[in-house]
Amino acid sequence: MGKTGIQLFDDSRNGLFCVSDLGCDWSLTSGYPVGGLFASVNQTNPLGSGFGSGSLSSPDPSNGSLSAQLNGKVEEWEEVVNGEKKKKKKNGGGGLKLKIKVGNPSLRRLISGAVAGAVSRTVVAPLETIRTHLMVGSGGNSSTEVFGDIMKHEGWTGLFRGNLVNVIRVAPARAVELFVFETVNKKLSPEHGEQSKIPIPASLLAGACAGVSQTLLTYPLELVKTRLTIQRGVYKGIFDAFVKIIREEGPTELYRGLAPSLIGVVPYAATNYFAYDSLRKAYRSFSKQEKIGNIETLLIGSLAGALSSTATFPLEVARKHMQVGAVSGRVVYKNMLDALVSILEHEGILGWYKGLGPSCLKLVPAAGISFMCYEACKKILVENSNQEA
């Protein structure tokens, strides 16, 4: 008589499921645990006809071609999957990386600087508006009073008054400024092991050159932007402001306050870029890493902006007073020194720092955002599509 037996688990054999003598033995051996869900099903028909005395065993080469093919396919799939994982790991996790091919390195710097300037100034436009009002004493004596006055008379759009002019001014200004700084700094910086070409830090002189270049190029737009912010309802727009100023006050009025502006911009730009370059070098030395991330760049740029803004703020106040001129019966100053002395006599030393708080709230993040956007854009704009950031 035949014998019927059902063996549910058999740890001595491999495989997930097996029905013997059917020519099919499915065994996943690569990376899977031994011992299947049903290790063996044995049944012998008492009538003498059946499937035979099945048992789980290694596939017979002559009778298990399907099993061999399946095992081969599994190995191929594993090789493909492992290859894709290694490729993604090599490419930085397979994340999306935007690359735009721009062959000219000078053009890459100019585009990156323009984008950085436009983004940073738009983000901090409300703080810029409040800062300008505080500097010239228009709309209140504190940030809260100025904000309330603007909201009462103009609403949210008043906080962005003159922002278009600001973006038109800042985008090319920042592009020229960063381009000049990197170009001059690279030319003057000594190679590793060489002596310095000049007696002062290269980044300090490069920053001063950058500040002078952008100021000469964009000063008229800066004056128009200040007039649009302070003189509500006087001008219809940018073009109208240019025409009226030239017709009523003469072309030279567009450069009123240029001298104190240059004197103010040179130390600010010099200290700003010098601090930024020095902090980047210090971070690389401390972290032992050549690449600097976006967050680190944001913090380094913000700290550099805070240091340079505080050091040169009195010159900025004098420049704003001279730009406003005789608007609303205000005092007309002969020169920057006259403006500084007059402000000191009437308001004390605190008058030199009126608006420093909102100025730092605006300049510090603006500097950080600008440097971060600039470095990020340089990584996106590459010489060739295969270039690594």
For residue 287, what are its two tokens? 């972290």
pLDDT in the model for residue 265: 81
Burial of 38 (0-12, 13-18, 19+ CB in 10 A): middle
What does the alpha-carbon distance between residue 316 and residue 134 come to, in Å, rounded to a whole number? 12
pLDDT in the model for residue 325: 64
Helix (H, G, I), strand (E, B) or coil at 135: helix
Centroid of chain to Cα 338: 41
pLDDT in the model for residue 57: 46
What does the alpha-carbon distance between residue 263 and residue 219 come to, in Å, rounded to a whole number? 13
What does the alpha-carbon distance between residue 338 and residue 342 come to, in Å, rounded to a whole number? 6
Query: Quick one: DSSP state of residue 200?
Result: S
Q: Which of 179, 206, 209, 168 is nearest to 107 (CA)?
A: 179
pLDDT in the model for residue 79: 61
Residue with tokens 């009778």: 63
What does the alpha-carbon distance between residue 354 and residue 332 come to, in Å, rounded to a whole number? 19
Q: Is the model's pTM score more than 0.75? A: no
What does the alpha-carbon distance between residue 389 and residue 377 come to, in Å, rounded to a whole number? 10
Within 13 Å, how many C-alpha atoms sit on residue 11's CB side? 0
What does the alpha-carbon distance between residue 322 and residue 316 come to, in Å, rounded to a whole number? 10
Q: What is the chain's pLDDT, residue by residue, as a tens digit (389 residues)?
A: 444 444 444 444 444 444 444 444 444 444 444 444 444 444 444 444 444 444 444 445 444 566 666 666 656 666 655 655 555 444 444 444 677 887 788 888 899 999 998 888 888 888 778 877 877 777 777 878 888 888 888 888 888 887 887 788 788 888 999 999 999 999 998 887 788 878 899 999 999 999 999 888 878 877 887 888 777 778 888 888 889 989 988 888 888 878 867 877 888 899 999 999 999 999 999 998 888 999 999 999 999 998 888 888 888 888 778 777 655 566 678 787 888 888 888 888 888 888 787 678 767 888 899 999 999 998 888 766 555 54
pLDDT in the model for residue 52: 44
